[in-house]
Chain A
Amino acid sequence: GQQLNQSPQSMFIQEGEDVSMNCTSSSIFNTWLWYKQDPGEGPVLLIALYKAGELTSNGRLTAQFGITRKDSFLNISASIPSDVGIYFCAGDRNSGGSNYKLTFGKGTLLTVNP
Chain B
Amino acid sequence: KAGVTQTPRYLIKTRGQQVTLSCSPISGHRSVSWYQQTPGQGLQFLFEYFSETQRNKGNFPGRFSGRQFSNSRSEMNVSTLELGDSALYLCASSLFREGHYEQYFGPGTRLTVT
Residue numbers of A with Cβ under 8 A of B are 1, 3, 31, 33, 35, 40-45, 48, 50, 88, 90, 92, 96-97, 99-107
Contact = CB atoms under 8 A, between A and B. Distances in A.
Interface string B70-106: 0000000000000000000010101010011111111
Interface pairs A-B: 8 shortest CB-CB: A42-B105, A104-B43, A106-B42, A101-B56, A99-B55, A43-B105, A99-B56, A100-B101
B48 A104 contact: no
Given A92-B101, A99-B50, 5 more contacts: A43-B105, A45-B105, A50-B100, A102-B43, A104-B43
Secondary structure class of chain B's binding surface, majority of residues: strand
20 contacts: A3-B42, A35-B105, A42-B106, A42-B107, A43-B105, A45-B103, A88-B43, A90-B43, A96-B99, A97-B100, A99-B48, A99-B55, A100-B33, A100-B48, A100-B56, A101-B33, A101-B56, A102-B45, A103-B45, A106-B42
B104 A45 contact: yes
